[in-house]
Structure 1
Amino acid sequence: MIALPNECLIEIFNKFKCNYRDLFSCLLVNRQWCRNVVPILWSEPLSHCRDRRLMRIYLLLLNVEEKASLIPLNISLPNEQKLLFEYMSYIISIDYYDLDEGIVNWLCEGHEHSNGREYTRKYLEFKNVIQIVKDSLIAMLIRTNKKIKYANLQKINNCKVVKLLLEILYKNSTITLLNLSRNEFSFEEIRTLADVLCKNTCLSSLGLQECKLGSKEAKVLSNAFYENTTLSYLNLSFNKLGDEGIKAFAEVLYENTTLTTLCFSHNQLTFEGGKTLAEALYKNITLTSLNIGDNNLGIIGSKAIAETLRKNTSLTYLNLYNNNLGFEGIKVIVEALYKNTVLTSLNIGKNRIGSEEAEIIAEALSYNITLTSLSLSGNQLGNKEGKILAEALCKNTNLTSLFLYNNPMDSEMTKEIEKMLCKDGTLTTSVKFRVKSSC
C-alpha cells in the first residue's frame, strides 16, 4: 500500500474537524497521525471541552497563582505530569461559555448527567465553583496563547482576568475578533481599553454589549477611533450611552474611515442623538451598516435619518426597529426609498404600522429597485394590509426576504400572500411569518 503524503492526511483530518470523537481515535494510530491531529483538535478546543480528558489538560497547565484561587474550594486537581505537546500553542479560538459543561462533567465524574434538566440542576448546585474554576482557566488560556484570533470572553467580571487580558492586548497582534459583552468594567479599565485600541493594529471586531457603559465611558472610547485604523465592527448595544454618548461617536464618523458596522440599539437614544448621527452620515462614506433599534427617535429623529438616506451613498443596512416612528416617521423614511439607490436591508418592525403606513410602503416597493430585505415584524398588519403588501410585491422583482413575524394575520392570509409573492418566481427566500394569536 502506498503511504499518503502528509499534506493529504492533513486535508483528510480537517474534514473531521467537527467530529472530535473520530479525531481522538486517530491520535492512537501512530505518531504521524498524532502529530497531524493534535493541531486540528486543539485549534478550537473549548468546543469539545465537555470531554473530561481535555479539562484535565487545561487544569494541568494552571500556574501557582491560577491554582491559588481554587484551593479554598477543596477540590482535587489532576496530578502534575509532563505533557507530550504544547497544546496551548495550537489554539486559535476561545469561548468563555463553552467551559461550563466541561467543568460540570469534571466536578461530577462518575455521576454524569443524562439530560438537560439534570445538567441544569448540577450547574446551579456548583454555580459559584464553576465561576471560580472558569476564571482561572480563562486566565491560563489568555496567558499561554500567542495565536488566538477569536475570543468570546463574556461575563468574566473578574478584575484580575480583565487586567491580564488588557495587558495581553497591548502586545497581542493576532486577536481579530473580541467579544467582551456583559462585563462590568471600571472607568479605569475602559480608559485602558481605549489606550489598547489606539495601539492595537490587528483587532477588527469588538463587542461591548450590556456593559453598563454611559456617556462618560463613550467619550473615552470614541477618542480611540481617531487613531485606530483596523476596527471595522463595533457593537455597543444594550448600554446607556444616551444622546451625549452617541454624539461622541458621531463626531468620530467625520474622520474615521475604517468603521463599517455600528450597533447602538437599546441605548436611550432620542431625536437629538438621531439628528447628530444623521448629520455625520452626510459626510461619512464608509459606514455600511447601522443598528439603532430599540431607541426613541420619534418623528423628528426619523426625519433627520430620512434626509440622510436621500443623500448617503454607502449605508446598505439600517435597523430602526421599535423607535416610536409613528405615521409621519414611517412616511418620511419610506419616501426616502424613492431616491436612495444603495440601501438593501431595512428593519422598521414594531413601529405601530397599520393600514395607512402599509399603503405608503406598498407604493414605494413598486418603485424601489435596490431593497432586498424588509422587516415589518411586530406591527399591526392584518389580512387587509397583508393583501396590499402582497399586490405591491408582485410587481417588485428585487425583494428576496420579507419578515412579518408577530402580526395579526390569520394562516389563510399568510398562505395567500406567499402564493401571490411566489407566482412570478422572483422571490428567492421564503417569506417569514409567525401568526399572532387573535386571543
Structure 2
Amino acid sequence: MASKIFMGNMPELMEKILSNLNNEVYTLYSCALVSRHWCKMSIPILWKDPFSFEQNTLFISKYFSSLDENEKLRLKESLRIYKINIEISETLFDYARFLKVLDLSHLGWRVTEWFFPEFVNVGIVCRTSLTTYIVNLLLKIFIESGANLHKLDLHFSDLFKIKPEIFCSLEQNEQFFSRLQYLSLGLISEFNTENAIKLLRILTKKATKINALKLNKRYTTYDQQSLKALIESQEQLRKFSLVGGDFSI
C-alpha cells in the first residue's frame, strides 16, 4: 500500500491524509516537494486559509501574478510612493482560486504587516489608505479567480473599507459565496457599518447553503431587517450561535 501511495495510485487516500495536516504548514510544504503529484494535492490545502498562519507575509505578493500588466504597473507605482518595492514573478499555480477561508480582520492585519516594516514612520491615515487599496485588490483577485469560500468571518475594523466596485463584482458573481457553509458576524466599527450592511444583503442572495451562523449580539443593532432576511434565506441552517450561548435549530 505504501508503494501505491508514493506512486500516486491512491489520490483519494492521499488527499485525506494531507487534509489532516491542515495546520501543519511546514509538513505540507515538505510534502509538496516530494513529487509533482504530491505538490498538486498539497498546494490547495496550504493556500485555502493562508491569512490565519503565523508566517512570513511575503506570500501575499504571489497573488499579484494574476494581474494584467497595467494593474501590476499601478500596484508598483502605488507602493513606490511609500518606498516599497516588490517583484511580481510568474507562479506555477493560480493560488487565489484555492481560497476557502476568509476572515476580513485577518486579511486587513496581514496586509498591514506585509508592508509595516518599511511603513513604521507613516501616519495612520496613510496606512489605512494603502491597506484599503491592497485589500480591495486582493478581494478583486479572489472573486475573479473562481474561488469558492466555505468559511467567512466578517469582523470589520478601521484598517480598510471595501470599495463599491467590489460589491458590484460580488453582486454579479454566482460562485464566490455559493458554497459558503459557515458565517461569523463579528464586531464592526462605525467606519464600516454601511459596508457590513451591504455585504449582509449580498450574502442573503448569494449564500443560501449556510449550515452554521455565529452572531455577535452587538451586530443586531445595525440592521435587523437584513439580518432577519439572511436567516430566513437559509435552506440548510442547523446551528445558530450567539456570543455567550449556542442555540440549535
Matched-pair contact (CA < 8 Å) for 1:169–1:196: no
Check the 8 A contact 1:177/1:206 in 2, yes or no: yes
Secondary structure of the corresponding residue to residue 154 of structure 1: strand
Q: Distance in 2 between matches of 1:195 and 1:159?
A: 14
* C-alpha distance after superposition, 1:9-36 (max 9, x if no partner): 4344334321212322332332122122
Alpha carbons of 1:175 and 1:70: their partners in 2 closer, same or farther (altered >3 Å)?
A: farther
Larger radius of gyration: 1
Aligned residue type for 2:240? T
- In structure 2, the residue matched to 1:185 is 194
In the other structure, the counterpart of 2:48 is: 43
Say yes or no: does 1:87 pair with 2:95. yes
Deviations 1:178-201 (CA, angstroms, capped at 9, x unpaired):
345413126xx8478447525643
Please name the residue that 1:158 is paired with. Answer: 162
CA contact 1:50–1:99 (8 Å) conserved in 2: no
Structure 2 stretches lacking a partner, 5+ long: none
Query: Quick check: 1:49–1:102 contact (8 Å CA) kept in 2?
Result: no
Amino acid at match of 2:134: V
Are residues 39 and 2 of structure 1, via their aligned partners in 2, closer, same or farther at CA, if it must alter by over 3 Å? same
In 2, Cα distance between equivalents of 1:178 and 1:263: 12
Q: Are positions 1:203 and 2:213 aligned together?
A: no
Distance in 2 separating the partners of 1:204 and 1:261: 8
1:219 CA drift (Å): 3.4
Per the alignment, residue 437 of structure 1 pairs with none
Cα 1:164–1:2 shift into 2, 3 Å: closer
Report which structure shows greater RCO (CA 8 Å, sep ≥6).
2
- Give, in whole Å, the separation in 2 of the partners of 1:218 and 1:153: 16
Q: Distance in 1 between matches of 2:243 and 2:2?
A: 59
Structure 1: 5+ residue stretches without partners: 112-118, 233-257, 266-287, 291-313, 315-439
CA distance in 1, matches of 2:241, 2:16: 37
| Alpha carbons 1:50, 1:105 under 8 Å: kept | no
Give 1:35-434 correspondences, 5 Å limit. Answer: 35-48=40-53, 50-62=55-67, 68=74, 71-74=77-80, 75-81=84-90, 83-100=91-108, 102-104=110-112, 106-107=114-115, 127-128=127-128, 129-155=130-156, 157-160=161-164, 161-168=166-173, 172-181=177-186, 182=188, 183-185=192-194, 190=197, 193-194=200-201, 197=204, 200-206=207-213, 209=216, 213-214=221-222, 217-219=223-225, 221-223=227-229, 228-230=233-235, 232=237, 261=240, 263=242, 289=247
* Structure 2 equivalent of residue 326 of structure 1: none
Contact 1:66 1:139 in 2 (8 A): no
Q: Distance in 1 between matches of 2:213 and 2:230?
A: 13
Aligned residue pairs total 228
After superposition, the Cα gap between the structure-2 partners of 1:199 and 1:41, relative to the gap in structure 1 and judged at 3 Å, is closer
Residue 193 of structure 2 aligns to a residue whose secondary structure is: coil
Q: Is the 8 A contact 2:143 2:176 kept in 1?
A: no
CA offsets 1:77-113 (integer angstroms, 9 cap, x no match): 43342x222323322212223335643554367x8xx
3-state secondary structure, aligned to 2:33: coil
What secondary structure does 1:3 align onto? helix
SS in 2 for 1:33: helix
TM-score, normalised relative to structure 1: 0.42
